[in-house]
Structure 1
Amino acid sequence: MEKIMEGLNIKKTLHSVKKYIVLSFLCLLLLCIYTGYLSGPQALTTMNHTNFWNHSVSGSRNVTILLWYWPFGYVTSLQGDVCWDLYHIPRCRLVDQHSMFSSADVVVFHNRELIQGIQKLPLDLPRPQGQRWAWLSLESPANNGNLQQYANIFNMTMTYRRNADIILPYGMLVPQETEGQLVEDVTQNKSSLVCWVVSNYQSHHRRSQVYHELLSVVPVKVYGKWTNTNLPSSDLLPTISRCYFYLAFENSVAKDYITEKLWWNAYQGGAVPVVLGPSVSDYKAVAPPNSFIHVDDFASVKDLGRYLVELAKDKKRYSEYFTWRQHWKVKRLVEWRERLCKICVHYDSLPQHRVYSNLMDWVNAN
């Protein structure tokens, strides 16, 4: 009898041990999920929906960003905790005094002033260990000048390119705070089929050639310095709003180079953009689906013109180019301070020892 009781006690003990092991494993599994160590489809989905504009900042120390000189000479106040007060980005200090060079984590140089010889790199100063130099430009490669001289100098790139260290698009989509049905009549008050605002007209530009081909098929209302019909800024969007289509033609064809011509003139102006610039895939990567018409999608410019005429007559199909407004709105980037503050958002996740050995090749790469 004693042996039987002893066996039962052993089984009960083993059962308790197994129960404890299973319980411990479940707790450990839940802990991994909670702390983010678990990878897999769910984790990837979360990452894919995380916008690069996210304001979460890793690390706990302050990061000092020194702007060596102001782009185009437009000086803006850096008084107070600018990044936190304006953009809710913590532990990020913006300065523009050269005396802060030795304590700066990042020094930013705008390319335009460098290539024009207005400013120079402080190559004569002893560069603190770990300090990163950032190359900043929103120009297309054709307007960036000779960058061969800047080999093995910069550690970071700040530009519109989607593979830049700090991505600075001319515009982007952000969710609407409240979603709803599109109730407005987008064809109301439209009086011109196609319009274009252009100041820097160059006959050799591809956009100029496409314009002349299109003009042989449909009427195009042109504004800007080229035709001596300048529009005050207050009249720009109201004028575009009276057009069915807007020629959002870039003056340079380069990867990811999509400027305010799309984000502001067309989208904010309320006209369907006809785009000419980088590839269709580059536009699809950043713009709402079915919100633009790309010149390259047509066998000829004449085919494009005929399509615009037909589309303007079909109110339902035309209105479908505006359905994205139910879910999204456009955010433009116009503040240099906001662009600088974004460095802090990504600072700890950037490679610590990167050097651009051939900046010109990187800029010109497709």
Structure 2
Amino acid sequence: MAFNKMLLSGPMKRRLLLSFLCLLSLCLLDGWLTSNQGLLPVNVLRNSSSSPTVTVLLWHWPFNTSLSLKGDVCWDLYRIPHCKLVDRRSFFSSADVVVFHNKELIRGHQKLPVDFPRPPGQRWAWMSLEAPVHNGNLRRFAHVFNMTISYRRDADVTVPYGELLPKEADGRVTEDVSLNKSSLICWVVSNYRRRHKRSKVYKELKATVPVKVYGRWTKTPLPSEALLPTISRCYFYLAFENSLSKDYITEKLWRNAYLGRAVPVVLGPQLSDYRDVAPPNSFIHVDQFTSVGEIGKYLQSLAEDKKRYTDYFKWKLKWRVKLHTDWRERLCKICPQYNRLPQQKVYSDLEAWVNAKNT
């Protein structure tokens, strides 16, 4: 007994205790990191990757409307690390990516910096959220850009007008969306052109069922604060795009219809494009019917059947709408994709890519 006490006394006892505490700490730390990643401090998450910071230079602000880039914008607003947004052209020589918004290039308000030596490895990105018909002549941009930023799902960086994100289960039943409805169908339109397919469908539809129209075209514009409340009083909303282009699904679906609590009747890209991004039984596509008259009859019968109508809102139990309206978020999305994209990629025929038909 005295021998055991002698062995555990003095320096040896302290060394054994220290070793035990170190081993215990390592075990606890390893278990915490592997089973509780969500509990890591913010600064650890931010610096957990050894990836270098990607510097993104915006050559000109879209539509000449600038936003603040003070601080670590991508991290502070969107939790995207290692991403530096700048809009000062003095960063040109050190920028990894230079982004050019198409509208200003086409209108001649801005020019490509072709007179400056382009740093080795620097990528130029073409950005547009317009439908192809509004992008102008892009033939002059052959062999210029290495990256595309667009609503298109096959773009290098996809920036949709909106998307659905999983909703945390709260057990609440979907609201009674059939209450306080005073109009069968409504449509908000300012840019009305007779040649547009949506105008032709509207004209045939209103001959079958009543359609309430708002917007500059009918001299009944809606202030922004009145838009969604007005749509919410309609059973159906005509989410008709002004261009029928691949993946071109705008705020007419995401904001006006979904957030306005009206069932969207959609006209735009093909049915499969909508099915790829929207929940089943959450919209009605014009192409699902053989005639516009058939659409009108279906909408009338659906509005009269509360259960069938309410079924179009079941998606709200699992999903929520996220709108993308901040250009900074769109630019920040470049950084997570940067190292995954081919370094030597060049769009030899940008116009052909932009004008690609639905497949």
Please give the range of the TM-score, normalised by the shorter of the 2 chains.
0.7 to 0.9
Q: 1:57 to 1:270 in 2, by over 3 A?
A: farther
The structural deviation recorded for 1:316 is 0.3
Letter matched to residue 290 of structure 1: N
Name the structure 2 match of 1:6: none
Q: Does the CA contact (< 8 Å) of 1:56 and 1:345 recur in 2? A: no
CA distance in 2, matches of 1:193, 1:57: 53
CA distance in 1, matches of 2:304, 2:232: 17
CA distance in 2, matches of 1:131, 1:152: 14
CA distance in 2, matches of 1:273, 1:169: 18
The structural deviation recorded for 1:181 is 4.2
1:42-61 correspondence runs (5 A):
60-61=51-52
Q: 1:29-73 CA distances to partner (integer Å, 9 max, x unpaired)?
A: xxxxxxxxxxxxxxxxxxxxxxxxxx9997610100000010000
CA distance in 2, matches of 1:237, 1:56: 41
Letter matched to residue 214 of structure 2: Y
| 1:316 matched to 2:307 | yes
Name the structure 1 match of 2:105: 114
The structural deviation recorded for 1:292 is 0.2
Letter matched to residue 227 of structure 2: L
Letter matched to residue 89 of structure 1: I
2:251 aligns with one of 260, 263, 275: 260
Name the structure 2 match of 1:241: 232
| 1:135 matched to 2:139 | no
CA distance in 1, matches of 2:162, 2:170: 21
Letter matched to residue 296 of structure 2: G
1:338 aligns with one of 329, 332, 335: 329
Letter matched to residue 365 of structure 1: A
Identity %: 67
Name the structure 1 match of 2:279: 288
Q: Does the CA contact (< 8 Å) of 2:174 and 2:316 recur in 1? A: no
Q: Does the CA contact (< 8 Å) of 1:57 and 1:344 recur in 2? A: no
The structural deviation recorded for 1:182 is 2.6
Name the structure 1 match of 2:18: none
1:6-85 correspondence runs (5 A):
60-85=51-76
CA distance in 2, matches of 1:322, 1:159: 29
Q: Does the CA contact (< 8 Å) of 2:248 and 2:269 recur in 1? A: yes
1:345 partner SS: helix
| 1:215 matched to 2:206 | yes
RMSD: 1.3
Name the structure 1 match of 2:353: 362
Q: 1:288-316 CA distances to partner (integer Å, 9 max, x unpaired)?
A: 11100000000000000000000000000
2:264 aligns with one of 268, 273, 291: 273
CA distance in 2, matches of 1:330, 1:57: 30
Letter matched to residue 344 of structure 2: H
| 1:329 matched to 2:307 | no
Q: Does the CA contact (< 8 Å) of 2:236 and 2:265 recur in 1? A: yes
CA distance in 1, matches of 2:47, 2:204: 49
CA distance in 2, matches of 1:56, 1:160: 30
The structural deviation recorded for 1:184 is 1.6
TM-score between both structures, scaled by the size of structure 2: 0.85
CA distance in 1, matches of 2:240, 2:172: 30
1:225 aligns with one of 198, 202, 216: 216
CA distance in 2, matches of 1:204, 1:111: 25
The structural deviation recorded for 1:185 is 1.0
**Structure 1: gaps spanning 5 or more residues:** 1-54
The structural deviation recorded for 1:183 is 3.9
Q: 1:80 to 1:292 in 2, by over 3 A?
A: same
**Structure 2: gaps spanning 5 or more residues:** 1-45
1:102 partner SS: helix
2:80 aligns with one of 89, 93, 96: 89
The structural deviation recorded for 1:246 is 0.1
CA distance in 1, matches of 2:298, 2:184: 12
Letter matched to residue 258 of structure 1: I
Q: Does the CA contact (< 8 Å) of 1:59 and 1:348 recur in 2? A: no
2:96 aligns with one of 83, 86, 105: 105
Q: Does the CA contact (< 8 Å) of 1:71 and 1:112 recur in 2? A: yes
* More divergent stretch after superposition (180-189 vs 129-138): 180-189
CA distance in 2, matches of 1:60, 1:294: 44
Q: 1:180-236 CA distances to partner (integer Å, 9 max, x unpaired)?
A: 343421100000000000000001000000000000100000000000000000000
Letter matched to residue 254 of structure 2: W
| 1:187 matched to 2:178 | yes
The structural deviation recorded for 1:176 is 0.8
CA distance in 2, matches of 1:147, 1:287: 31
Equivalent pairs, count: 312
Letter matched to residue 213 of structure 2: V
2:312 partner SS: helix
Q: 1:340-364 CA distances to partner (integer Å, 9 max, x unpaired)?
A: 0010011111111100000000001
2:313 partner SS: helix
CA distance in 2, matches of 1:85, 1:214: 48
CA distance in 1, matches of 2:344, 2:351: 19
